[in-house]
């Protein structure tokens, strides 16, 4: 088996792949940069045992992280558990992507992994939308060319800022409202955030599609946090893929092993 770990700003995903690429288990834990390697080792071991998986079942591991303080500690934890260090996604790792941005080494490992996942699962060109702590748009075309990125605040950040900076607006949970024009404060906020985000996704996809030009029409793949809820409100067809990043890690590991 392959152990794949994605450390995001809010959540850390820990998954296990069979040799044929099937995701056999997936666990999500809160990201905490303040633990030691031994603490992470205990947490990962407990997750494996929760799914009745033993440490010696793994022949390798791969790690992606956008939280630098956690990267080395989690890598050391994996090495302690599996008796071999993980492949850390970063500069020098073969991905198969032709990254055409100003400084390719600065591209986040999460964006690399989702792009590789999309390349191996969907028709090209593809527009990838990752709705995590930040909402990130990227695009890949024929020939595995990675064209660039657009980044904006994620849904939860936007909602928290709205409540924090407006004295009369409460903190709320995001649920789909019955209509676009809300009839109370909570529904009005939910509508603005969810339908507004859906309209933004439609608009950004249209603009990115325009930059792709003759390479379109593009497949649109959405992943991350509130992706399923927002994609369902969009007018443009979008495919929701919860495990796109981990699938990308699997393919990157296979390319390097």
pLDDT in tens, 209-243: 999 986 668 999 999 988 988 999 999 999 999 99
Q: What is the CATH number of domain 2-88?
A: 3.30.420.40
The share of the chain scoring above pLDDT 70, in percent, equals 97
pLDDT of residue 216: 67
pLDDT of residue 182: 85
**What does the pLDDT look like over 169-187, one tens digit per residue?**
677 677 788 889 988 888 8
Q: Where are the domains of the chain?
A: 2-88, 98-247
- Which stretches of the chain score pLDDT less than 70? 167, 169, 172, 214-216
**Distant-in-sequence, close-in-space partners of 153: CB < 8 Å, separation ≥ 6:** 134, 135, 161
Catalytic-labelled residue, pool 110, 130, 241, 247? 110
pLDDT of residue 165: 75
DSSP bridge pairs for 131: 135
pLDDT of residue 189: 84
Query: CA dihedral in degrees (196, 199, 205, 207; nearest 10)?
Result: -100
CATH of 98-247 among 3.40.50.300, 3.30.420.40, 3.40.50.970, 3.90.1150.170: 3.30.420.40
Longest dimension (CA), the chain: 59
Burial class (CB in 10 A: 0-12, 13-18, 19+), 11: middle
Equal CATH topology for 2-88 and 98-247 = yes
How many other CB atoms are there within 10 angstroms of residue 143's CB atom?
10
| Residue 187 falls in the annotated catalytic set | no
pLDDT of residue 121: 95
Distances (CA, A) of 159 to 146, 153, 155, 183: 31, 10, 6, 18
């Amino acid at each position: 088996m392959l152990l794949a770990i994605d450390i995001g700003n809010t959540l850390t995903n820990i998954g296990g792949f069979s040799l044929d690429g099937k995701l056999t288990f997936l666990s999500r834990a809160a990201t905490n940069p303040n633990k030691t390697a031994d603490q992470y080792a205990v947490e990962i071991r407990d997750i494996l045992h929760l799914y009745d998986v033993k440490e010696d079942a793994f022949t390798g591991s791969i790690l992606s992280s956008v939280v630098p303080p956690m990267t080395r500690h989690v890598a050391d934890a994996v090495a302690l558990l599996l008796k071999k260090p993980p492949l850390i996604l970063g500069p020098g790792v073969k991905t198969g992507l032709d990254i055409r941005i100003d400084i390719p080494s600065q591209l986040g490992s999460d964006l690399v992994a989702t792009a590789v996942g999309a390349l191996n699962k969907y028709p090209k060109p593809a527009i990838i939308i990752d709705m995590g702590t930040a909402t990130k748009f990227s695009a890949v075309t024929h020939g595995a060319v990675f064209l660039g990125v657009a980044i904006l605040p994620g849904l939860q950040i936007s909602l928290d800022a709205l409540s924090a900076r407006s004295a009369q607006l409460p903190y709320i949970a995001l649920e789909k409202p019955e209509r676009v024009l809300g009839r109370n404060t909570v529904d009005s906020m939910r509508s603005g955030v969810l339908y507004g985000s859906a309209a933004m996704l439609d608009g950004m996809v249209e603009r990115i599609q325009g930059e792709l030009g003759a390479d379109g029409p593009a497949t649109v793949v959405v992943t991350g946090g509130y992706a399923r809820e927002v994609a369902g409100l969009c007018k443009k067809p979008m495919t929701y893929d919860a495990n796109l990043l981990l699938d990308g890690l699997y393919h990157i590991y296979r390319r390097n092993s």
